[in-house]
Amino acid sequence: MKPIILTVDDDPEVLNAIERDLRHHFRADYRVVKAPSGEQALDAVRQLRQRGAHVALFLVDERMPYMSGTQFLVEAVKIYPDARRVLLTAYADTETAITAINRIGLDHYLLKPWEPPSERLYPVLDDLLSDWFARARPAFDGIRVVGSALAPATYIVKDFLASNQVPYQWLDVDSDRTARELVSGSNGLGGHLPVVFFPDGTTLSQPTPRELADRLGMQTRAQKPFYDLIVVGGGPAGLAAAVYGASEGLRTILVERSAPGGQAGTSSKIENYLGFPGGVSGADLARRAATQAKRFGAEIITAQEAVELKREDPYRRVVLSDGSELTGYAILVAPGMEVRRLEADGLEQFVGAGVHYGAALYEAATYRGQDIIIVGGANSAGQGAMFFSRHARKVTMLVRGPDLKSGMSQYLIDRINETRNIEVLTNTSIAAARGNGHLESVMLRDSVSGMEREMNASAMFIFIGTAPRTMLCGNLVLCDPHGFVLTGRDVMIDGKRPAGWTVERDPFPFETNVPGIFCAGDARSGSGKRVASAVGEGSATLSMVHQYLATV
Ligand SMILES: Cc1cc2nc3c(=O)[nH]c(=O)nc-3n(C[C@H](O)[C@H](O)[C@H](O)COP(=O)(O)OP(=O)(O)OC[C@H]3O[C@@H](n4cnc5c(N)ncnc54)[C@H](O)[C@@H]3O)c2cc1C
């Protein structure tokens, strides 16, 4: 059954025109359903739900009598929460559309008329439908992961698949009889959970990310013997550099230890990135950027960590965790930051078994209707709390400071205050974690009174800041005392070029103390620590890389 695009307009002429244009472009993959009013459209939506149909997109006129487009969408998204939402507006309605962005998570508003559709209609809807397809694609007939939600080994597999946006069906042996039957019928595989079942009938039990990547046909090894530019890290900075490098004709390879997207990829919604008035999820941004880089010819290898940088003039080498080496002329180091670990009695044993660092958005379904804790008081914690509040029964935010104001944007504070099932506990930290194989409760400590009390929680998501991931720099590339890479003028000491500097010029901006090794993004000392700044730095580095390459 094809997924559905539902369009609503009270003007029969406009309704027929939009139906015609939609059918023309989408009929191979989607069924177009039309309705002449919000009320009739809602009836249709209820019937579609009953029949088990999948609605991918609502395209709705805002100005309709009785029920406006926004009013319709408020109700329709309760039934199909994953469907993309687009309003058709007249110029004068843009204020309404902007309000709808906040109220119903409107994805886009299209101004009437949408002529020519090839420029003003199809690109927008193609984008939204590919987002929908990547995230909300109906029951998958492919990979199945069978394991225990409470086991760290399962967490590693789910985390790898989810962050690489590989769709899979999750079957929990603790609650699902089919899952138990599947593993017990598979020659003793049940002893080594999780087991990954592939559509061709083969299995992998307790696979490492590299084994999974290889089995899924993801690139884990370089294809060329030599590159003009080697990028370490597939966050926004690295991806931007790969897009620009490859599009400007450089032989470009990007190495990513986990999944493209970096920290940004874990964000449920980035609302301040230019050009996305309705926000964009980190996963969408990552998927688009990785596709863009590959389209220009960049190689992206995943599940490989860069462990060392080498200088053998005029070549630069990157040593990977499997012992292989990449060779090229220039390196861009963009390893970003990683979350700080939380120190609390007994906590470490529950990592992956109820305790998660960062957002781990794919865990939302596991904790549906349960009580969870978010640790941290900055924007990332706020975004995490907002996201999980849609799934959990109650979200308790634990903030060490006296309020949220010092670390969080006001718009997020306002949203948190308006959200009924989020409670914020200030002056509070975690003293200990308890449970039996899985997190069950935490001991909270009030930093003002010193009192401790126990709170039950099924899961805890920790966002307590980050530190640069620059171990690979070793003694070759200079870092500041906090581990951030020094670049440009910062590597000059008393106006003198750094030791071992061999070229007749000062270091370029973004260039480290080693000619031809650059750094961009959050790992760079003095960087902006935002998606846009990382993208900007990754792109800007390319002009220096070109200047450098002209000399080797
Ligand atoms: C939950 C969350 C929400 C956020 N929300 C926003 C927001 O709304 N707006 C905003 O502007 N900013 C936001 N940020 C900040 C933003 O995501 C970062 O500033 C940005 O991602 C930095 O990009 P980067 O490329 O420098 O590094 P990162 O995003 O950290 O990416 C670095 C990548 O390099 C990889 N890597 C590291 N070391 C190695 C190695 N040795 N070998 C191979 N690969 C390696 C990592 O796995 C990672 O994928 C948020 C951050 C978080 C954590």
- CA dist 472 and 326 (Å) reads 14
Find out whether the beta carbon of 234 lies less than 6 Å from any atom of ligand 1.
yes
Is-contact 510 543, C-beta < 8 A? no
Contacts of 459 (CB under 8 A, 6+ apart): 354, 355, 356, 363, 366, 367, 370, 372, 373, 439
Substitution site in 164, 239, 254, 267 for ligand 1 pocket (most atoms within 8 Å of beta carbon): 267
pLDDT of residue 133 exceeding 90: no
Which band of pLDDT confidence, cut at 50, 70 and 90, is reported for residue 189? low
d(CA 73, CA 100): 9
The reply to whether ligand 1 has any atom less than 6 angstroms from the CB of 529 is: yes
Question: Which of 4-18, 112-126, 319-333, 350-364 has the least mean pLDDT?
Answer: 350-364
Confidence of residue 103 (pLDDT cuts 50, 70, 90): confident
Phi, psi torsion values for 353, nearest 5 degrees: -125, 55
Cα 283 to averaged position of ligand 1 atoms, centre (Å): 12
Antiparallel, parallel or unpaired: β 252-255 and 227-232? parallel
Distance 464 CA to ligand 1 centre (A): 15
Range name among 126-130, 138-142, 335-339, 348-352 with the lowest pLDDT average: 138-142
- Alpha-carbon dihedral of residues 470, 474, 480, 482, nearest 10 degrees? 50
Residue 466's φ and ψ, nearest 5 degrees, are: -135, 160
Q: Is 278 in the pocket of ligand 1 (CB under 6 A)?
A: no
Ligand 1 centroid distance, CA of 258 (Å): 12
- pLDDT score of 69 more than 90: yes
Kindly report, residue by residue over 467-503, the tens digit of the pLDDT.
Answer: 999 999 999 999 999 999 999 999 998 999 999 999 9
Look at residue 135 and tell me whether its pLDDT is greater than 80: no
pLDDT digits (tens, 9 = 90+) for 148-184: 887 888 989 998 998 888 888 888 888 887 788 778 7
Name the residue with the closest Cα to ligand 1, atom 9.
270
pLDDT tens for each residue of 87-96: 999 877 878 8
**Sheet-wide strand order for 108-111:** 31-35, 4-8, 55-61, 84-89, 108-111
Q: Where are the extended beta strands (E) located within 174-298?
A: 195-197, 203-205, 227-232, 252-255
Is 336 touching ligand 1 by the criterion CB < 6 Å?
yes
Bigger pLDDT: 361 vs 429:
429
- Using DSSP's 3-state secondary structure scheme, residue 411 falls into helix
Note the pLDDT of residue 267: 83
Residue 139 has pLDDT above 60, yes or no: no
- Could you list the beta-strand ranges (E) of 24-126: 31-35, 55-61, 84-89, 108-111
Residue 195: CB partners within 8 Å, gap ≥ 6?
145, 146, 147, 182, 183, 186, 189, 203, 204, 205, 206
Nearest-CA residue for atom 6 of ligand 1: 270
Q: Is the CB of 469 under 6 A from ligand 1?
A: yes
Residues in the chain: 552
**Ligand 1 pocket residue status of 258, Cβ below 6 Å:** yes
How far apart are alpha carbons 38 and 211 in whole angstroms? 50
Distance CA 436, CA 439 (A): 7
207 Cβ closer than 6 Å to some ligand 1 atom: no
pLDDT in tens, 203-248: 999 999 999 999 999 999 999 999 999 999 999 999 999 999 999 9
In this prediction, residue 481 carries a pLDDT of 95
More confident residue, 415 or 93: 415
Ligand 1: atom nearest CA of 523 is 26
Please state the rounded mean pLDDT for residues 383-389.
Answer: 93
Q: Is 508:548 a contact under the CB 8 Å cutoff? A: yes
* pLDDT reported for residue 75: 95
Reference 86, options 102, 108, 68; nearest CA is 108
Q: In the predicted model, what is the mean pLDDT of the chain?
A: 92
In degrees, rounded to 5, the angle at the alpha carbon of residue 488 between the alpha carbons of residues 483 and 491 is: 60
pLDDT at residue number 137: 55
Read off the pTM: 0.79
Question: Residue 535: CB within 6 Å of ligand 1?
Answer: no
pLDDT of residue 191: 67
User: Measured in angstroms, how far is the CA atom of residue 352 from the centroid of ligand 1?
Assistant: 20
Q: Judging by DSSP bridges, how do beta strands 315-320 and 428-435 pair with one another?
A: unpaired
DSSP class of 328: E
Distance 381 CA to ligand 1 centre (A): 15
434 CA distance to ligand 1 middle (Å): 31
110: left (phi over 0), alpha (psi -120 to 50) or beta: beta
Best mutation site among 230, 231, 263, 337 for ligand 1, i.e. most ligand atoms within 8 A of its Cβ? Answer: 263
Q: Which two tokens stand for residue 201?
A: 């009938």
Ligand 1 contacts CB of residue 269 (under 6 A) = no
Per-residue pLDDT, 187: 57
Give the C-alpha separation, 255 to 318, whole Å. 9
Per-residue pLDDT tens digits for 21-45: 999 999 999 999 999 999 999 999 9
Does the CB atom of residue 334 touch ligand 1 within 6 A?
yes
Mean pLDDT of the region 92-108: 84
Mutating to test ligand 1, I would choose from 243, 484, 531 the residue with most ligand atoms within 8 A of its C-beta, which is: 531
| 421-445 pLDDT per residue, tens | 999 999 999 999 999 989 999 999 9
- Tokens 């990135």 belong to 273
Confidence class of residue 188 from pLDDT cuts 50, 70 and 90? low
What is the spatial distance between Cα 533 and Cα 91, in angstroms, rounded to a whole number?
Answer: 32
- Please tell me if the CB atom of residue 236 comes closer than 6 angstroms to any atom of ligand 1: yes
Report how far ligand 1's centroid is from the alpha carbon of 337 (Å).
Answer: 6
| % of the chain exceeding 70 in pLDDT | 97
Residue 233 alpha carbon to ligand 1 centre in Å: 9
304 CA closest ligand 1 atom index: 43
Atom number in ligand 1 closest to CA 520: 26
